[in-house]
């Protein structure tokens, strides 16, 4: 049986000094994690047990004696082994990724310096989009995390070019906006910050101007209540081949190379349940007592029905 083995930078492992081209043997029967010469059938499995370090030596081997395997069948042990040839680090990277020019492992895309990417040119991890320096993005060009849109520096955005969080619109610096170009929060319209103003405006609520300043206690309490409201979002995660269905294995042939695939997962938030069960009666009454309160506008902007 052929396989792969990782060694320290000086070609030592578990007290043995190895050399390419030589054969090593013990008289006892092999036992995984106890005695014998350990190796893996797939090179990607080696890094479940050894650090992914370019300084380490990696070789193709052949087990020509008795063989014992662990419960996962990924780690093997033999009492007689031949060190066939050394693998260059670039060979290892190409074998661990189905994409090309990756500096880490488990990538099915190309030119990734992170891990578990199915997109290209990602510095972060678990991205199915491209050019992301953040993590778990399904869109492109994000330096934030968990974005399904593109070019976001914030998190959990399904729109584009947002520096805030949880926006489904575009170019928002505030949070929870479904419109575009908003610097405030929870807007379904667009351009709510205005132009060329030197004074500080009063807070607009439910499409009306109020007497509140942005740092008033009432506004702070409003923000604090809605801060705990759960939000829906998408993210990408690595699904191990052992957890994949037969249909997933057929649809994602790259799993044979990288040990799994990148799956886009949608997390749906139950905002209504949060409001009904977790928000106190006092906070509910406070929201309904706000100036110009409009239940339809609140539902449109926040996603919660108030009875």
Determine the pLDDT at residue 192.
Answer: 61
Q: What is the pLDDT of residues 222-269, one digit of tens each?
A: 989 998 999 887 777 788 888 999 999 999 887 877 778 888 888 889
Determine the pLDDT at residue 282.
Answer: 97
- CA dist list (Å): 191 to 187, 237, 299: 9, 34, 20
Determine the pLDDT at residue 193.
Answer: 62
Domain ranges of the chain: 2-95, 204-230+270-302
Rg (CA), the chain: 28
Alpha helices in 124-228 (DSSP H): 217-227
Q: Which helix (H) or strand (E) holds 58?
A: strand 57-63
Question: Is the pTM here over 0.85, yes or no?
Answer: no
Determine the pLDDT at residue 65.
Answer: 96
pLDDT < 50 regions, the chain: none
CA torsion sign for 47, 48, 49, 51 is positive
């Amino acid at each position: 049986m052929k396989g792969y083995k990782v060694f320290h930078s000086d070609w030592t492992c578990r007290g043995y000094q190895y050399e390419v081209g030589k054969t090593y043997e013990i008289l006892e029967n092999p036992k995984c994690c106890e005695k014998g010469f350990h190796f893996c059938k797939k090179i990607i499995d080696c890094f479940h047990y050894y650090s992914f370090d370019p300084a380490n030596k990696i070789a193709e081997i052949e087990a020509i004696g008795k063989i014992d395997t662990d419960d996962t069948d990924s780690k093997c042990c033999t009492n007689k082994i031949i060190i066939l040839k050394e693998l260059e680090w670039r060979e290892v990277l190409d074998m661990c990724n189905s994409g090309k020019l990756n500096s880490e492992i488990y990538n099915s895309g190309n030119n990734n310096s992170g891990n578990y990417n199915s997109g290209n040119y990602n510095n972060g991890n678990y991205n199915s989009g491209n050019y992301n320096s953040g993590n778990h993005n399904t869109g492109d060009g994000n330096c934030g995390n968990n974005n399904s849109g593109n070019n976001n520096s914030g998190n959990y955005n399904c729109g584009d070019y947002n520096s805030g969080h949880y926006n489904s619109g575009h170019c928002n610096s505030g949070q929870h906006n479904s419109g575009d170009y908003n610097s405030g929060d929870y807007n379904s319209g667009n351009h709510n910050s205005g132009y060329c103003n030197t004074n500080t405006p009063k807070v607009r609520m439910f499409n009306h101007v109020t007497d509140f300043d942005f740092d008033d206690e009432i506004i702070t309490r409003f923000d604090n209540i809605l801060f705990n409201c759960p939000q829906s979002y998408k993210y990408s995660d690595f699904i191990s081949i052992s957890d994949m269905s037969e249909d997933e294995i057929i649809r994602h042939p790259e799993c044979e190379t990288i040990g799994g695939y990148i799956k886009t997962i949608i997390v749906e938030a139950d905002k209504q349940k949060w409001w009904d069960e977790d928000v106190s009666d006092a906070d509910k009454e406070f929201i309904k007592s706000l100036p110009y309160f409009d239940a339809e506008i609140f539902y449109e902007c926040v996603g919660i029905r108030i009875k």
